[in-house]
């Protein structure tokens, strides 16, 4: 469960404060998916970084499960990120010196949640069985993103945050990766918050909202 209430965020510029988020309210229930859309510069990635605990709110509150992020120290936030969330970005961010099998297990081992049976299921369902001994540079873009998805889900996080996860892929590969992700989520306790520019991608998630002028509005209100 994710609850965002009245979140404010601005940044200091030479011209003065630049407001980015002006009182964002957002709710994501357990085992559900939500697409966050909006024009470039609307604050989508800023909101995602705040939910991931990578930046601090200026006002309002963010709660993930039972945890209020604004009440955590930096050390507590770092531990929380390791164990409670998964991250998938447009850039695959795989570790080049590690083979596929080790990249897959990396996050789960950090979180102390490595489960060989779940790992084997991820390998099978993501179609990675023949690639485990390869290194990232030996993979196509679609293969790398499948590894990134598996890595993010390997620790069975309560919340998966995805920022344009298929943005670097062609349409057919994008559809395949997204379908694999949604299929895996149906069999896990994980909720998904995805930033995307694509209405076609967004339509495949349970709900769609738009970030407009620093606030979240229903997709059909824009």
- Enclosing domain of residue 125: 2-221
Is the pLDDT assigned to residue 180 strictly greater than 90? no
What is the per-residue pLDDT for 133? 96
One DSSP character per residue, 146-193 reads HHHHHHHHTT--SEEEEESTTTTS-HHHHHHHHHHHHHHHHTSS-EEE
112-154 tens-digit pLDDT: 999 999 999 999 988 999 999 999 999 999 899 899 999 999 9
Cα(108)–Cα(193) distance, integer angstroms: 20
Query: How many separate domains does the chain show?
Result: 1
In the block, which residue shows the tokens 């601005």? 10
Rounded to 10 deg, the angle between the 141-153 and 100-111 helix axes is 20
pLDDT band at 221 (very low <50, low <70, confident <90, very high): low
Over residues 24-36, the mean pLDDT reads 94
Backbone phi and psi for residue 208, each to the nearest 5 degrees, phi listed first: -135, 130
User: Token pair of 32, please?
Assistant: 């559900």
Confidence of residue 172 (pLDDT cuts 50, 70, 90): confident
> Angle formed by the axes of helices 116-125 and 100-111, to 10°?
140
Give 72's contacts (C-beta < 8 A, 6+ positions apart). Answer: 53, 80
Using the predicted structure, report yes or no on whether residue 222 has a pLDDT greater than 80.
no
Would you call 210 helix, strand, or coil by DSSP? strand
The pLDDT value recorded for residue 219 is 74
Q: The tokens of 96 are what?
A: 């080049």
pTM value surpassing 0.75? yes
CATH number assigned to the domain comprising residue 213: 3.40.50.300
Q: Whose CA is closest to 150, among 113, 125, 174, 122?
A: 122
């Amino acid at each position: 469960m994710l609850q965002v209430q009245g979140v404010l965020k601005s940044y200091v510029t030479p011209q003065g404060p630049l407001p980015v988020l002006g009182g964002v309210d957002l709710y994501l229930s357990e085992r559900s998916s939500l697409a966050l859309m909006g024009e470039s510069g609307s604050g989508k990635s800023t909101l995602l970084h705040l939910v991931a605990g990578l930046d601090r709110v200026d006002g309002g509150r963010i709660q993930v499960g039972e945890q209020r992020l604004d009440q955590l120290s930096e050390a507590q936030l770092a531990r929380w990120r390791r164990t409670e969330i998964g991250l998938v970005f447009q850039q695959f961010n795989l570790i080049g010196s590690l083979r596929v099998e080790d990249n897959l297990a990396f996050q789960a081992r950090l979180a102390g949640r490595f489960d060989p049976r779940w790992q084997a299921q991820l390998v099978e369902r993501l179609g990675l069985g023949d690639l485990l001994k390869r290194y990232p540079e030996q993979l196509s873009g679609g293969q790398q993103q499948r590894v990134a998805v598996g890595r993010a889900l390997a620790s069975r996080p309560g919340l998966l945050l995805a920022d344009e996860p298929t943005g670097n892929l062609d349409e057919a590969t994008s559809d395949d990766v997204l379908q694999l992700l949604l299929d895996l989520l149906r069999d896990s306790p994980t909720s998904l918050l995805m930033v995307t520019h694509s209405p076609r991608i967004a339509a495949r998630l349970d709900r769609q909202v738009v970030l407009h002028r620093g606030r979240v509005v229903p997709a059909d209100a824009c």
